[in-house]
Chain A
Amino acid sequence: MTTMTVAPRFPLYRKEAKYEFLRLLRARTFTLATIGFPVMFYLLFGVVNSRGHEVLSASKYLMATYAIFGLVGCSLFGISVTLSNERNLGWLEVKQASPMPAPAYLVAKLLTAFAFATIIFGLLLTLGLTLGHVTITGTEIRNLALTILGGVLPFASMGLMLAMVVPPQAAPGILNLIYLPMSFCSGLWMPVSVLPHWLQTVAPVWPTYHLSQIALGGIGFEMRGTLAGHIAALAGFTVLMLGLAIVLFRRNATAS
Chain B
Amino acid sequence: MNPTLAAVLSVGLLVAALVVVHRPLGSYLARVYSGTTHLRVERLLYRLSGVDGDGEQRWPAYLRSVLAFSAVSVLLLYGLQRVQHWLPLSLGRQNVAPDMSWNTAASFVTNTNWQSYSGEQVMGHLVQMAGLAVQNFVSAAVGLAVAVALIRGLARSRTDRLGNFWVDLTRGSLRVLLPLAFVAAVVLVGFGAVQNFTHGFDAHTVQGATQHIPGGPVASQESIKELGTNGGGFYNANSAHPFENPTSFTNLFEVFLILLIPFSLPYAFGRMVGDRRQGYAVVAAMAVICLGAVVASGVVEAHHPGAAPTAAGASMEGKETRFGVLASSLFSVGTTMTSTGAVDSWHDSYTALGGGVTLFDMHLGEVTPGGVGSGLYGALVLAVLAVFLAGLMVGRTPEYLGKRIGAREMKLVGLYILVMPATVLVFTGIAVVTKMGTSSILNPGPHGLSEILYAYTSAANNNGSAFGGLSANTMFYNVTTGLSVLIGRFVPIVFVLALAGSLAKQQKVPASAGTMPTHTPLFTVLFVGVILIVAGLTFLPALALGPLAEGLA
A binds B: no
Interface residue ranges, B against A (CB under 8 Å): none
